[in-house]
Amino acid sequence: VNKGQPKYEKYKLSKEEWKLLTLIHEVLAEAAKVQEMFSAEYYPTIWQILPSYEYLLAQWHEFSADPRMITLWPAIEAGIESLKKYYNKTDNSPAHVVLM
């Protein structure tokens, strides 16, 4: 397919859009790492939940202070708030006591 054809030109990403996608990938890669830890098929992963939440919160807090990520700050902050909500729910979980 000749991507230089006018009908495909409107789908071409600008340099700024590519930069934004790169930053989005950087943020989401951290969540993907955590999700991968929970995907084990052959061994239990419940003991990894709290350290994983803490890791992801720390990473996203770093991103929320990174000037390169300024356009993503609202989304990162929303992600942090969502993680905190679920992290705080672990206080009421009996599994939390077992993991300690």
Give the per-residue pLDDT at 14.
93
Is residue 2 in a domain?
Answer: no
- 27, HSE (Cβ side, Cα atoms, 13 Å): 26
Is residue 3 in a domain?
Answer: no
* CA–CA separation, 48 and 66 (whole Å): 27
Model confidence at 90, in pLDDT bands (50, 70, 90)? confident
* CA–CA separation, 53 and 34 (whole Å): 8
Longest dimension (CA), the chain: 62
Question: What letter would DSSP give residue 93?
Answer: -
Contact 81, 87 (CB under 8 A): no
* CA–CA separation, 80 and 33 (whole Å): 16
Total number of residues shown for the chain: 100
Is residue 6 in a domain?
Answer: no
Is residue 85 in a domain?
Answer: yes
In which domain, by residue range, is 93 found? 12-99
Q: How confident is the model over 43-59, as pLDDT tens digits?
A: 667 778 888 889 999 99
